[in-house]
Amino acid sequence: MTLSVTNTLTGDREEFEPAGEEVLLYVCGLTVSDDAHLGHARVWTHADVMHRWLSHLGYEVRHVENFTDVNEKVVARVGEDDLGGSELDVAEGFIASVIEDMRGLNLKRATVYPRVSEHVPEIIDLVETLIDRGYAYEANGSVYFDVTAFEDYGKLSNQHLDEMESQGNPDERSEKRHPADFALWKAGGVSPSDVAEHRKDDRPLGDHPPTGETWDSPWGEGRPGWHIECSAMSTTHLDDTIDIHVGGHDLVFPHHENEIAQSEAATGEQFARYWLHTGLLETAGEKMSSSLGNYFYVADALAEFGPNVIRTFYCSTNYGSEQTFSEAAMAEAEERWERLERAHETAVDACDGVDARTKAEDETLRTAVAETRTEFAAAMNDDFGVREATAALLELATAVNRHVDGREAYDYVGLRRAVEAFEELGGGVLGLDFGGGTEGDARLADDLIELVLDVRAAEREAGNYERADELRDDLEALGVTVEDGADGTTYRY
């Protein structure tokens, strides 16, 4: 059985076959002008599961996920609170927090996380090539891609240039030959009006608004355009032709369309062989986005739900579909995850039980494990069908529960196989952590300590100081120091 995948480029389901030895995977990363929200994390998580499944199938995966650290929106935040005094400082701060989020979500590391600011020479080379080949032109120190020169323009998104309502930024139109031409290189720094437009707070612009980084180029001082960096970075870290390009559906046009135009015009080779687009996360019927302000930060979600619930939530819909975020949906994800976790624990406990020497053979259990593996693989090979893959695991949970329920003698071989399936498929492929719950332990510990302190407070209130002191000593023995102060009781451990 082989992996098949829905390719936006052709609109069809296709058998997946990497071009070379390794699978070259590029994920369109984040513009780091804010912390990441759950919509971003959905793309990462699905890309992560794809990566894990490809590895599971035996492929070597080279996975590149970029950070766009050169952008007007980043510049607009310069000087805000303690974000940093320069574009790159601000970006670095957000990158650090995004990496933190990614770790929190139990994502496998990408091979590289390249930044735009580190690839300006490659970008300039690419732009020069495009000019040399007649696909780009210079105007007042900026360079634009000439969409009419690239005859395949629109092939990804099926857009026809003359039928679109509006194209491009009206301010730039004067120097562009065609309204859909897009900037490869922008003269000078970021303009005050752009800074003002992207400001998140209401600080006055001031006499010297930040302009962001600029670099020397054959066309003078300037900055790279938006789309060019992905072309430069994927070529640098992967190859002219990559296997899989992943990104959110909202990037199909113009971003991905423009990437194709630039890269293919420059190299004459196909840019990406399989384009996989993830459906957007919505809240109450509209997409979760920074501009709409209806987002939920990854860090907050991790604190509230933990990585396993979030990953189970993402895995309850396939990557290409839209998904709605709601408290109810998260509650359901929690139930699903806990059902898996409990069944896993039940199986482990049964194997470790006192009657571990008794034995039985349960063909039903063993068959169920085998079926789980087959169904899981079939689901994943069917365009990364994580929803059905998870369903297969949940059916295994039922099989385990049935086997253990009210039984005296267990089938240890069968249970062991079930545990392995949970850990290998749920853990290794879906990235769920059955490992005894390091996740959420800190939160739980705090909650428990506070619970004990509540009891202790009640005892003190009632004048039972002896009992209260015992509780304090008991906590101390566990490494938790309790201190009563003027404004209440604090603890540390």
Partner RNA sequence: GCCAAGGUGGCAGAGUCCGGCCUAACGCAGCGGCCUGCAGAGCCGCCCAUCGCCGGUUCAAAUCCGGCCCUUGGCUCCA
Work out whether 31 is an interface residue with RNA (CB under 7 A): yes
Return the residue of 9, 23, 35, 39 that touches RNA, per CB under 7 A: 39
Query: To the nearest whole angstrom, how small is the minimum distance from the Cβ of residue 71 to RNA?
Result: 7
Query: To the nearest whole angstrom, how small is the minimum distance from the Cβ of residue 297 to RNA?
Result: 13
Neighbouring C-beta atoms of residue 162, cutoff 10 Å: 7
Note whether 126 and 232 are within 8 A (CB): yes
Return the residue of 28, 50, 64, 105 that touches RNA, per CB under 7 A: 28
Work out whether 282 is an interface residue with RNA (CB under 7 A): yes
Looking at the Cβ atoms of 109 and 342, the one nearer to RNA is 342
Give the integer Cα–Cα distance in Å for 431 and 428.
5
Looking at the Cβ atoms of 64 and 453, the one nearer to RNA is 64
Pick the piece of the chain touching RNA (CB under 7 A) from 80-88, 129-137, 248-256, 361-369.
Answer: 248-256
Give the integer Cα–Cα distance in Å for 175 and 172.
6
Footprint (CB under 7 A) of RNA, residues 202-221 = none
Footprint (CB under 7 A) of RNA, residues 96-155 = none
Note whether 395 and 275 are within 8 A (CB): no
Work out whether 87 is an interface residue with RNA (CB under 7 A): no
Give the integer Cα–Cα distance in Å for 52 and 389.
13
290 appears as a binding residue in the annotation: yes
Work out whether 159 is an interface residue with RNA (CB under 7 A): yes
Work out whether 290 is an interface residue with RNA (CB under 7 A): yes
Query: To the nearest whole angstrom, how small is the minimum distance from the Cβ of residue 1 to RNA?
Result: 11
Return the residue of 9, 16, 52, 68 that touches RNA, per CB under 7 A: 68
Residues 111-150: b if buried by 16+ CB within 10 A, e if exposed: bebbbbbebbebbbebbbebbeeebbbbbeebbbbbbebb
Work out whether 239 is an interface residue with RNA (CB under 7 A): no
Query: To the nearest whole angstrom, how small is the minimum distance from the Cβ of residue 195 to RNA?
Result: 13
Footprint (CB under 7 A) of RNA, residues 310-369 = 316-318, 320-324, 328-329, 331-332, 335-336, 339, 342
Query: To the nearest whole angstrom, how small is the minimum distance from the Cβ of residue 460 to RNA?
Result: 27
55 appears as a binding residue in the annotation: no
Query: To the nearest whole angstrom, how small is the minimum distance from the Cβ of residue 479 to RNA?
Result: 29
Footprint (CB under 7 A) of RNA, residues 251-280 = 251-255, 278-280
363 appears as a binding residue in the annotation: no
Query: To the nearest whole angstrom, how small is the minimum distance from the Cβ of residue 137 to RNA?
Result: 19
Footprint (CB under 7 A) of RNA, residues 368-427 = 382-383, 385, 387-388, 390-391, 394-395, 397-398, 401-402, 404-405
Looking at the Cβ atoms of 194 and 468, the one nearer to RNA is 194
Looking at the Cβ atoms of 245 and 456, the one nearer to RNA is 245
Q: What share of the chain is helix, strand, coil (3-state, %, to 5)?
A: 50, 15, 35
If residue 473 lies in a helix (H) or strand (E), which one and from where to where?
helix 465-477
Return the residue of 52, 62, 73, 366 that touches RNA, per CB under 7 A: 73
Note whether 392 and 343 are within 8 A (CB): no
315 appears as a binding residue in the annotation: no
Pick the piece of the chain touching RNA (CB under 7 A) from 167-175, 209-217, 260-268, 363-371.
Answer: 167-175
Question: What ranges make up the beta strands (E) of 222-327?
Answer: 222-224, 242-248, 272-278, 281-283, 286-287, 323-325
| Total residues binding RNA (CB under 7 A) | 79
Pairing of strands 182-187, 222-224: antiparallel
Token digits of residue 27: 């994920």
Residues 313-338: b if buried by 16+ CB within 10 A, e if exposed: bbbbbbbbeebebeeeebeebbebbe
Give the integer Cα–Cα distance in Å for 236 and 247.
19
Query: To the nearest whole angstrom, how small is the minimum distance from the Cβ of residue 89 to RNA?
Result: 19
Work out whether 289 is an interface residue with RNA (CB under 7 A): yes
The residue length of the chain stands at 493
Give the integer Cα–Cα distance in Å for 418 and 372.
9
Token digits of residue 482: 């309790």
Return the residue of 64, 95, 233, 288 that touches RNA, per CB under 7 A: 288
Query: To the nearest whole angstrom, how small is the minimum distance from the Cβ of residue 207 to RNA?
Result: 26
Token digits of residue 166: 């509006």
Neighbouring C-beta atoms of residue 30, cutoff 10 Å: 23
Note whether 183 and 226 are within 8 A (CB): yes
Return the residue of 18, 189, 212, 248 that touches RNA, per CB under 7 A: 248
Q: Give the position of tokens 């990804």.
A: 156
Work out whether 247 is an interface residue with RNA (CB under 7 A): yes
Token digits of residue 411: 């089938």
Query: To the nearest whole angstrom, how small is the minimum distance from the Cβ of residue 104 to RNA?
Result: 17
Cis peptide before 179 (omega within 30 of 0): no
Return the residue of 58, 204, 268, 285 that touches RNA, per CB under 7 A: 285
Angle formed by the axes of helices 298-305 and 38-56, to 10°? 70
Footprint (CB under 7 A) of RNA, residues 449-488 = none
230 appears as a binding residue in the annotation: yes
Return the residue of 86, 97, 111, 157 that touches RNA, per CB under 7 A: 157
Which residues are part of a known binding site for Zn(2+)?
28, 230, 255, 259
Which residues are part of a known binding site for ATP?
290
Which residues are part of a known binding site?
28, 230, 255, 259, 290
